[in-house]
Amino acid sequence: MMNEQQLLAALKRLAEGGYSPAEWLEWWEHNAPHVKKLLPAGEFLRLKPRVASHGETAVVRRCHTEAIAILQKRGVTVSPSEELKMLFRADEEARAKRTSFAAHVIEVVEDELRASCPSAFRDTLYEEYLASGQAAAEHDWIRQRLMNCFISVHKPPDWVGDPEWAFDDLEPMVFIEQIRLDETPVTKSVLTWHTMLYIFGRRVACEGGFEMKYEIVAQSW
């Protein structure tokens, strides 16, 4: 059974860089039930690692900040290592670059292409950009990469509201057609009205050839 002094020693080790992100997450997995008994609920919840989309370092950085606060509240002196500071600084810079890239993707997709895309698609593009060697300017690379992604059979969609481009497996589907449902006896009795239906499709390879997938996006006014 862990006591308070053992917990504070572990938090001090975390705060001063004694645990790698992976080691701390493993420590937490084994000791969380004991920590919960030793800390007030608020401190426990703030210290608890939360899932982050950009790796273990981002998760542990938040734990590290709370560990320092817990220690200082109890009068324990903490001296974070320079190596740890550099790790967190590099992680913060990497996250800032990723955020900037995502903002540029949104700008091109929404303003220039009148489409939309999920955050996972933006993350995938960023990894692809990093793998490319980043030779081209970021905004130019994004525009060139996306120019042939959002395809329409005929005209592009005329959105009633904000763009809601359909995706399948993080790939933009092809816009086929849109159908306007006005107020008629049929729509009033068995369907809906004042609604625009946007039909998307995608051809997916399968054994023996391909199969078609379709998706409908509905917008009302």
Residue 204 lies in a domain: yes
166 in helix, strand or coil? Answer: coil
Residue 152 lies in a domain: no
DSSP 8-state secondary structure symbol assigned to residue 152: B
Residue 196 lies in a domain: yes
Query: Residues 138, 185: one domain?
Result: no
Residue 27 lies in a domain: yes
Residue 162 lies in a domain: no
Residue 51 has φ and ψ, to the nearest 5°, of: -60, 130
How many domains in the chain?
3
> Which ranges constitute the DSSP H helices of the chain?
4-15, 21-38, 41-47, 56-73, 82-106, 119-131, 138-146, 185-190
Query: Residues 117, 54: one domain?
Result: no
Structural domain boundaries, residue 206? 167-220
Query: Residues 69, 126: one domain?
Result: no
Residue 10 lies in a domain: yes
Each residue's pLDDT tens digit in the chain (221 positions)?
A: 899 999 999 999 998 888 888 898 899 999 999 999 999 999 999 999 886 656 777 777 888 889 999 999 999 998 877 777 787 788 788 889 999 999 999 999 999 999 999 999 999 999 999 999 887 899 999 999 999 999 999 999 999 999 999 999 999 999 999 999 999 999 999 999 999 999 999 999 999 899 999 999 999 99
Residue 90 lies in a domain: no
Query: Residues 63, 110: one domain?
Result: no
Query: Residues 137, 172: one domain?
Result: no
Query: Residues 12, 56: one domain?
Result: yes
